[in-house]
Amino acid sequence: MSEYFVKCNINPEKLSTGDCTIRAIAVALGQSWEKTYMGICLKGFEMCEMPSTNRVWGAYLRDKGFTRSAIPVELPEDYSVRDFCADTPKGTFILACDGHVVAAIDGKYYDAWDSGDYVPLFYWERRG
């Protein structure tokens, strides 16, 4: 188990499949799973698009003060969630990996399982 990993599953039923985006965003925002789920669903309704799309949950994050950035191309191809946390000891981030989303806060990643080996494709950072 990684020193950067914090086991965290705020799903009310303790499920850990299909809702990683909701869990990660809720943890990063310090709000309930239910409030996050409804907020993203409402954003999807407003945009006439499914709430699970990157575009919808990205718009939700943008409304909450996050900005999106790419993982720098000069980093190795296997640059992991664990590496990101080791390199980024301060701040609140949502890391988007292939098929998974995870919260990283002040150098630790919060997830239902140890997803430290996943490779982030892009990330959202909370400003202010």
Q: Which tens digits make up the pLDDT trace of 2-30? A: 899 999 999 999 998 899 999 999 999 99
* Spatial distance between the Cα atoms of 82 and 87, rounded to a whole number of angstroms: 9
Q: What is the pLDDT of residue 121?
A: 96
Q: Tell me what the mean pLDDT of segment 58-68 comes to.
A: 98
Please say whether the beta carbons of 102 and 24 come within 8 A: yes
When pLDDT is cut at 50, 70 and 90, the band that residue 127 belongs to is confident
Q: Where are the alpha helices (DSSP H) in 1-128?
A: 20-29, 33-47, 54-63, 81-87
Q: 3-state DSSP call for residue 35?
A: helix
**What are the tens digits of pLDDT across the range 27-41?**
999 999 999 999 999
d(CA 67, CA 63) in angstroms, rounded, equals 10
